[in-house]
Structure 1
Amino acid sequence: MKPTGTGFFHFAVLVFLLVLAGSRPAVSSEQVVSITMPAEVLRQTISDSLPLPIEPQNHYMEGSIVVDSLEKLQINGKSIFLQGVVLGRDIAMKTRIAGQDVKMKLGSVKLPVRCELFLRFDKQQKILFVTPVFPEAEKDASADSADILLPLLHSLGGREYPIALDSIEPFLFRVGDRTIPVKLMPADIQTVKGAMVIKMIPRVYKSP
């Protein structure tokens, strides 16, 4: 598969800089750089950052819960489908029986999960909103002890989580013997079949 992401990105930015290198500090409102990230590249990028911790949104569960592996990632026109494994360590559940607080220790649990992510990009606020939806998991003989994680996952789904993108750090681009600071402003994020398309507006300044 062609490395359409990084290679195209640097080529487009280089051409853009060569045009504006001799001008005063400029802000481009029309020149847009599109980065196409294939599904497999996105899957590998996420996998390299695992394990990813999940913070419980309740007070009845204790322990460490992480997304342990990502086995499948499929990008459709409107959503991203994920399939992986959630791992819980030192899991304990707090409950109340006959007026007494009881803590049930469950130890380590492992749960295969599927999730669908819906994306919405707010162009004015430069915020990406991600809404996870967890379908009903298929039970198998080894999943009984992990059923305790299902209510937790479902409690995380169905609502938007904001990811601010307006604080992307600028980088330095060299053209000949000159160093030009470049800041990329997110313009749009879309999903198409098989890929995620990230549109950025380069803001270029002459170095002092």
Structure 2
Amino acid sequence: MQSMPSASRRDFIRAAAATAGVGALSSTGAAAPSPRDADVVLAKLLEGNTRFINGQTSLLSRRRPSDFAALAEGQEPSAIIVACADSRVAPELIFDQGVGDLFVVRVAGNVVSGSGPIVAGSIEFAVAELGARLIVVLGHTRCGAVKAAIQHIDKQDSLPGSINGLVELIKPAVTDVRGTPGDKLDNVIKANVRRCVGQLKTMGPILPEQFKSGGLKAVGGVYDLATGKVDIVG
């Protein structure tokens, strides 16, 4: 990982000030939205997902060696994606984004709390050092880690090695939807995403302050493996 250049640090400070009401005003007197504003970024991600669904991806020209070289001195990703490590879930493709657009953290079950300093530190780095203002926790249909949590909470047994510790982090989501009508696996996948979003808001010393000031937003989404569509959850 590489810290953002000093100019980007200044941009982040200005953006944080803007969320407190200090930002520049547009000609109409309203605060002009920054291209890194969380809502603007989320809208762009969903627009990219629509292109992906329709087979109209537009950013192939931004994945050439020259595009990578242009970012060799620094990065300014617009969003953090905490996604499952599943081989079928590729955030840059799903959202039709180019090199440098997304800071991606991938771990089985897209777990956040209890996943240790590697996941938490990666997210905090992207917020504090790179100035990202949107976090998307991205679950997906037919998630194997969630399926294991459902199966083994009923059997009250354990899995070998560290797999058991991972599944334990997801089991509370199974309890959350007990008695809820509908497909159990789908319900738990959504509940797990919601839990992870909630956990971000109380995790460590860096993120809660950013959420409180309005300088950071977190949302959950579920990617449908069959259709390619990302639905916002919660």
Is the TM-score greater than 0.5?
no
Tell which structure's C-alpha radius of gyration is larger.
Answer: 1
Q: TM-score if structure 1 supplies the norm length?
A: 0.25
